Chains A and B, each alone.
Chain A
Amino acid sequence: MTLFVPYRTLSAGTLLRMRPGTALAAIILGGIVLAALLAPLIAPQNPFDLASLDVLDAEIPPSWLQGGDPRFLLGTDSQGRDLLSAILYGTRISLIVGVLAVLIQAAIGVPLGLLAGYRGGVADSFVVRAADIQLSLSTLMLAIIAMALVRAWLGGEGLGTYAVPLLVLIIGFAEWPYFARTARAATHVEAAKDYVLAARALGASDRMILFRHILPNILSPLIVMGTTQVAGAIMAEAALSFLGLGMPVTKPSLGTLIRSGYDLIFAGAWWVTVIPGLMLIAVLVCINLLGDELRDWTDPRSTRH
């Protein structure tokens, strides 16, 4: 049985009283997100424009190493593509897929959780049961199997065409139970409060009570959950792309970049795969640190105020 743990609400003041380490993580993450979003403006090269690539520039090491070229700060890949530009664009795709997938999770999980927590009874046990079953299967395994079947069906190119919506839907659908559980527990607490009673006395419909009154009040735990879920979704996308079951080479995410650079490490060109890998880790660590901090803040058992 889930315990109904009360929670504290996040506020703008929270952000000002962050641990210094987390603040640093938040700043780095903010910088990465900004750079990724502005990639078309700030990237030195358009990595998708094959005409601008020169094979003579292939596998140049980062500029601070011997043999580096100041034109390519982080070096180039096997096709002479500027790695910095490829990473900026790749991060953009990874972030977009991660965030959209979590929005899908929330769109499925939150209404179910609201309903289960508010109505109780059959609806509640149905949602709890379905969530348990879904969670006992692994998200990653489900996603791998689903993408593998799509690939067997459409072929490698077909998969590439629909990769973004497929990844978003599959990763989104596989992890709805986390939102459902959190929303259910929080709704259960809220539903007993006076304002809900007052709204009901005024004749508000259930739908009105759930979405207009309860939902805004349970946003804090949902945001905390959502933060760590984004890291999970980005990791799942990277894993799928690394296996060749995600983003295609023509539209690479960080996972695809790591995959396509992988063969080159034996030839000594480690940067093509290691640098995108470090970027992926930086994104994940920052999001996880931020998520931990937010969780501490909303957890009433935590001693930090």
Chain B
Amino acid sequence: MKALGFFLRRAGQALLVMLVIAIIAFAVRAALGDPLREMVGESVPEAERAALRHELGLDAPWPVQLGRYLGNAARGDLGNSYIYKRSTLRIVLAKFPASFELVLAASLIVLVISLPAGIYCAVRQNSLGARLILGFSVLGISIPVFLTGIFLITIFSVWLGWLPAFGRGETVKLGFWETGLLTRDGLAHLILPALTLSSILLPLFIRLVRSAMLEELGRDYIRTARAKGATHLRVWLRHALRNALIPLVAIGGLQIGNLIAFTLLTETVFQWPGMGFLFLEAVSRADIPLITTYLIAVGFLFVVTNTLVDLISLRLDPRIELQGRR
């Protein structure tokens, strides 16, 4: 019952955030976009423009226009793109699988490497290996993600010619979902972008895992577990890691915004046809409806992932009050 209340509360908050984002998007459109210019060009006389403006309801007071925009948005109509003359929502959604698969692959790399490396750095704090890993992580944090991409392309595509440097390669359509994970070519195209995206998150997560583990390993219950005769591995994984995951998920959840920005940078370097790449194209061609739809989509992803992070925290830590924090 309590969990249901929590969920409803979060859903309400999410709805409120989405409403604010939609209003911002409306304001941007009202301030920057002139649908008339796109429809009829500059040459049409002013009288005709005024008539058309009236016909389209563009001369209505702004609360009326806002109401109409929100109403359309609720039905999934966020306007047509200036460039493509199609529904912006459909265009953005069609690009989502590319971005999602890139993030998924990078997250897998981060997960598989950062957990063991972070645990190792915590349990063998002063070993040479731990120092090396931490040293590399300082270096990793200092290399901007787009430079990692450029270096990888220079080495593996230009000099060695082993891996493709741009695009998604061959993709397969599964209903509306266009996947690159099922073909050899698609997977080969995924390697460098996924490595690049993970390179910026990896140092951060190794440090996070390490400090969370160190925190837990210093607690009394670890001593108790050892006294009971639990093996090292059991103490590290069952006891310490289980509890270290709680702050890890909470702090990791704060990185969602950064993850979106890093994905956008990676997509730009590799010309990966995802949402970020689309956004930059829309920006350079001043396609206001497409820009605002991207903002709404990113805001939605942000809200959904944040809610998921909170739900996971709830599962991990039974002590968390179900009052809907924040």
Query: Which A residues are closer than 8 A to B by beta carbons?
Result: 132, 135-138, 140-142, 144-145, 148-149, 151-153, 155-156, 231, 235, 238-239, 242-245, 258, 262, 265-266, 268, 270, 273-274, 277, 280-281, 284-285, 288-289, 292
Contact = CB atoms under 8 A, between A and B. Distances in A.
29 contacts: A136-B254, A138-B255, A138-B261, A141-B257, A142-B257, A144-B261, A148-B279, A149-B28, A151-B283, A153-B31, A235-B144, A238-B144, A239-B144, A239-B145, A242-B146, A242-B268, A243-B265, A243-B268, A262-B269, A265-B154, A266-B158, A277-B147, A277-B150, A281-B142, A281-B143, A281-B147, A285-B138, A289-B138, A292-B138
A262 B150 contact: yes
A156 B284 contact: yes
A288 B295 contact: no
A265 B261 contact: no
Interface in B244-258: 254-258
Given A270-B158, A289-B138, A153 B280 contact: no
Contacts of B256: 138
Interface in B113-168: 138-139, 141-147, 150-151, 153-154, 158, 165
A265 B260 contact: no
Interface residues of B, number: 41
A139 to B, nearest CB: 8
Interface of B: 28, 31-32, 138-139, 141-147, 150-151, 153-154, 158, 165, 254-258, 260-262, 264-265, 268-269, 279-280, 283-284, 286, 288, 291, 295, 298, 306, 326
Nearest to A273: B150
Contacts of A141: 257-258, 260-261, 298
A192 to B, nearest CB: 27
B257 A137 contact: yes
B291 A152 contact: yes
Nearest to B258: A138
B258 to A, nearest CB: 4
Given A136-B257, A138-B255, A281-B147, 13 more contacts: A138-B258, A140-B258, A140-B261, A148-B279, A149-B28, A152-B288, A243-B264, A265-B158, A270-B158, A277-B150, A284-B143, A284-B144, A285-B142
